[in-house]
């Protein structure tokens, strides 16, 4: 609980300022509003790092991550992410045209989302097979597995609504669906530059991973929707954060 209180105290002043600026931006300025929402998310995510709510590292040029070993913190972060996503959707109804949840066939979309997760984690499964788990975050207790799945899906649902929903939808409207895939994926990587360079010193490893993951999620979203992209993103993070690959 103390960790969550400290985290809240750290981010609330920034979020209040974000909210104040957002309130006064004209509704017609869609691009500015979307980018401000993304910057707010970056604040929320990156503020986790100095408090050790998650840990990231690179071993032999391969990125790994682990979440807090406090089960309560992990569950609350997931619930808060889901609630925040629903609030953002509710308050930005004019962006609903960008929220394509599924492709033509829901079952196929879900399957593509699962395949996308496999494509993201495949290189890690190969590369990590030669790296002892002690050198990439250590083992994760079994009773944390479901909580990490919960956070992986709900936390990345927020990220996908912002990047693959609002941003990719906006880009598709302006430059077409194919270019929007690249712009969405590349902007996703850009959104991790502070994490890679100033919040941590892990550098290019995070940028390459997020560009790779972002492009796959954007490609999945193009024809199969945000839910499929969330499966791709959330399950990939789940497997990496649990050390299962």
The model's pLDDT over 97-133, given as tens digits with 9 standing for 90+, comes to 999 999 999 999 999 999 999 999 999 999 888 889 9
Q: 167: which DSSP letter?
A: I
pLDDT of res. 128: 87
Domain count for the chain: 1
CA dist list (Å): 131 to 62, 138, 150: 9, 11, 27
Confidence at 205, pLDDT banded by 50, 70, 90: confident
Beta-ladder partners of 59 = 62
Helix %, strand %, coil % of the chain (to 5): 75, 5, 20
**pTM for the whole structure:** 0.94
Q: Is the dihedral of CA 52, 152, 241, 200 positive or negative?
A: negative
pLDDT of res. 122: 96
Answer for the pair 46, 195: CB distance below 8 angstroms, yes or no: yes
């Amino acid at each position: 609980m103390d960790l969550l209180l400290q985290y809240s105290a750290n981010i609330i002043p920034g979020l209040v300022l974000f909210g104040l600026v957002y309130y006064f931006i004209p509704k017609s300025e869609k691009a500015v509003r979307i980018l401000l929402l993304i910057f707010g998310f970056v604040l929320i995510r990156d503020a986790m790092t100095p408090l050790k709510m998650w840990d990231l590292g690179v071993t032999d040029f391969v990125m790994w991550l682990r979440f807090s070993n406090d089960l309560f913190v992990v569950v609350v972060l997931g619930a808060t992410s889901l609630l925040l996503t629903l609030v953002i959707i509710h308050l930005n109804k004019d962006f609903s045209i960008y929220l394509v949840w599924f492709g033509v066939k829901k079952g196929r979309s879900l399957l593509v989302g699962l395949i996308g997760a496999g494509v993201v984690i495949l290189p890690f499964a190969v590369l990590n097979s030669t790296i002892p788990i002690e050198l990439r975050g250590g083992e994760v207790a079994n009773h944390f597995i479901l909580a990490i799945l919960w956070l992986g899906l709900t936390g990345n649902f927020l990220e996908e609504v912002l990047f693959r929903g609002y941003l990719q939808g906006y880009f598709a409207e302006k430059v077409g669906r194919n270019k929007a895939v690249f712009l969405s994926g590349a902007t996703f990587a850009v959104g991790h530059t502070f994490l890679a360079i100033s919040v941590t010193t892990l550098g290019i490893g995070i940028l390459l991973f997020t560009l790779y993951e972002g492009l796959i999620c954007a490609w999945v979203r193009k024809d199969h929707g945000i839910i499929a992209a969330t499966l791709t993103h959330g399950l990939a993070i789940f497997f990496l954060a649990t050390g299962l690959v």
